[in-house]
Amino acid sequence: MEKRTKWFLVGLFAIMTCLFFIKSYELFTIQEHVDGDGIGLTFLGVEMNEKVSISSIASYSIGFLLMGIVSLIISICIHFFIGGIHKKLKLEEREK
């Protein structure tokens, strides 16, 4: 994989990680200040659920937190595995 492609993917997943963490934090803080029966849930301009009940906001927040952790792990794996570790393994196999 080319360096440009690798860094593009790492950057993309890093940005997604930040967006997921921000949305998770937003949902954690908003659940105390909800008027009425619930809220509408949007992410990146796309409406995910028209009406999320107050009791379900915490589970959506945890879901966004988990997606952020997953995208962070993917970003780290792309950076390290496709970068240096993968090349080291190939060199060690050639030496044997």
Q: What is the per-residue pLDDT across 3-30, written as a single tens digit (0 to 9) for each?
A: 788 889 999 999 999 999 999 999 888 8
Task: Please provide residue 33's backbone torsions phi and psi, each rounded to the nearest 5 degrees.
Answer: -120, 40
> What's the pLDDT tens digit per position in 35-67?
777 788 878 888 887 788 888 888 989 999 999
Query: CB–CB of 39/47 below 8 Å?
Result: no
pTM (2 decimals)? 0.78
In contact, 21 and 65? CB cutoff 8 Å: yes
